[in-house]
Amino acid sequence: MRTSWLFGGTDPRTDNVLAMLEAAGRGERVPLVEDQYSRPTYTADLARALIFLLTDAAGVEGTVHVAKRRPGQLVRRRPACARRQGGCGVRPISLADAGFAGGRPRDSTLNTGRLAGLGLTLPDWTDAVARFCRTIGRTMAATARVA
């Protein structure tokens, strides 16, 4: 299984969507590459796809690309939940200025046709970001009640 641009974690250093939400909550902006394309994939959907591949599509050999249905750019589709927290939380930068070690392609979209042919199509990534935002909101509310 091969995927790209995972989000849905708990560490803003490795999760751009979470970093965007936390920065918006503090009134700050995080640098986010604006000239790179991929298929952002929510960890919850990746887990669902993994279960599908291990059960319903058991016996499949070779590489299956697991990613969202439509390519996108996180910087162009700032999550509405970040906007509600007081700002978009994003400072657009170019791929050349990102400071990544090693080369990175501008377009790393994966062809998910094989996954669809096996019977699973993941929802659009903007839907996944919205679901992640709802999850983060519930988590933050529960943490505030405990504290």
CA–CA–CA angle 81, 125, 87 (5° rounding): 25
Q: Residue 47: its pLDDT value, please?
A: 96
Residue 67 has pLDDT above 60, yes or no: yes
Is residue 71 very low, low, confident or very high in pLDDT (cuts 50, 70, 90)?
A: low
Q: Residue 123: its pLDDT value, please?
A: 86
First-residue to last-residue Cα distance in the chain: 40
24 neighbors 87 (Cβ within 8 angstroms):
yes
16 neighbors 30 (Cβ within 8 angstroms):
yes
Residue 66 has pLDDT above 90, yes or no: yes
Using a cut of 0.75, tell me whether the model's pTM lies above it: yes
The CATH superfamily holding the domain 6-98+106-146 is NAD(P)-binding Rossmann-like Domain (3.40.50.720)
